[in-house]
Homo-oligomer: A and B are copies of this chain.
Amino acid sequence: MDTDTTGTVSFPLTGRNGRTFGGGVSAVDNWLARAFLRAIGNPALRVVLWDGTQITADGSSPAVAMVIRDRGALWRLLTNPLLNFGDDYSAGRIEVEGGLVRFMETVYRGMRSTPRYRRVSDPAAYRRNQPNLNSPLESRRNIHHHYDIGNDFYQLWLDREMLYTCAYFSDQAASLEDAQTAKMDLICRKLRLEPGQSVVEAGCGWGGLARHMAKKYGVRVTAYNISREQIAYARSRARVEGVEGQVEYVEDDYRTIRGTYDAFVSVGMLEHVGPDNYRELGRVIDGSLSEQGIGLIHTIGQNCATPMSPWFLRRMFPGSYPPTIREMMALFEPGEFTVLDVENLRLHYAKTCEQWLARFEQNLERVREMFDERFIRAWRLYLSGCIANFRLGALQLFQVVFTRHTNNLVPWTRGYLMAPLGVADGNL
């Protein structure tokens, strides 16, 4: 599904000094546009300048085009493309033809082929580009930035249970609702939950997984989150669904987790933790998991350590970083945890984001009542960029199951992943 930008937005196109750009395209403009194409690896992309001038790397006429509406946007593209493209697209100074997702795929694929991109992609990149931005205080600010913009906005395009993480399309034609339920059940099977067990959840979003575990698997869940709006929503839903006795939502940082539990689960939080804090999160897990406990971390990841774009970090998810498997090992090695299972659900996340974007577009009029056009275009770009990155393999989705190295009560085969609970193969 390639959801294109529908219609064109008219913004006043003015530079910093208030002067309106535009007018004739000079030889310098032309040269700059070609330099931009070269810098991003000369992808099959038409650059259309404000007077209609069309520029491509090889003289062909690709369907995918970037329409630059004024000279200022072109210049900004060359000074800091990874920040300014997003801002100028959001502001309507840059338009895209041929489908936004397809455009993002074209550009990302081109960029990833350049030697410069290769150079920044190394394990030290995170540290160089992003010092620890996730202290308890900063985490609160970072999480507030994205998650506290209004539950009613997220309700417009997330599923019924408000799960804002990768769904599991065991049936590729499944609805988002069914795929999110399948994801929760997959996690519960991986954790081998049994009635009466206790679970701690680090980063519980709107609390859907905790409620599902309580209702369907009969466990007690203590779920942590620092987003005030999410916690308020989660508590209210737990009351309505009559599981407030089984699920406790704690508005606090994962670093404050106390107690011992049969299972540790974290879905979509590690992206906000930052590698500098993985050892500390590992200590939290070590302190909270019982002797035979099972843990599961579900996180966006990468094959090579590459920082997120400055636009993504400033406008969407401050302090975020999707780890490589190598980086994740800092969670497990100091406590000598054994990795039992890693599953990569990359394409499931591409499909999940496609569904989110489609619902977002379907509910555009209601979104417009809440936010301005710049917000809408920024979110459209964000969701399209995610689809492109998951399709291209620039982002991954890792589910990692682990336990203490001394735990010999682990399943011998993966039969338990397929079978209903209770019919799984025996233990040691």
Contacts and interface: CB of A to CB of B under 8 A. Distances in A.
Interface size class of A (residues with CB under 8 A): 35 or more
Interface stretch (A45-53, A54-62, A246-254, A339-347): A339-347
B341 A343 contact: yes
Contacts of A170: 412-413, 415, 425
Q: How many chain copies?
A: 2
Nearest to A428: B347
Given A303-B333, A303-B405, A343 B391 contact: no
A332 B326 CA distance: 10
Interface in A382-428: 391-394, 396, 398, 404-408, 410, 412-415, 417-418, 425-426, 428
Interface in A327-342: 329, 332-333, 336-342
Contacts of A321: none
A393 B406 contact: yes
A304 interface: yes
Contacts of A417: 414
Given A325-B325, A417-B414, A333 B304 contact: yes
A261 interface: no
A169 interface: yes
B304 A414 contact: no
Interface string A295-325: 0000000011000000000000000000011
Quick one: which of A341, A412, A425, A426 has the most chain B CB within 10 A?
A: A412
A34 B326 CA distance: 41
Contacts of A392: 405-406
| 10 interchain residue pairs of minimum CB distance | A393-B405, A342-B342, A326-B329, A340-B344, A170-B413, A303-B336, A326-B326, A304-B333, A303-B405, A303-B338
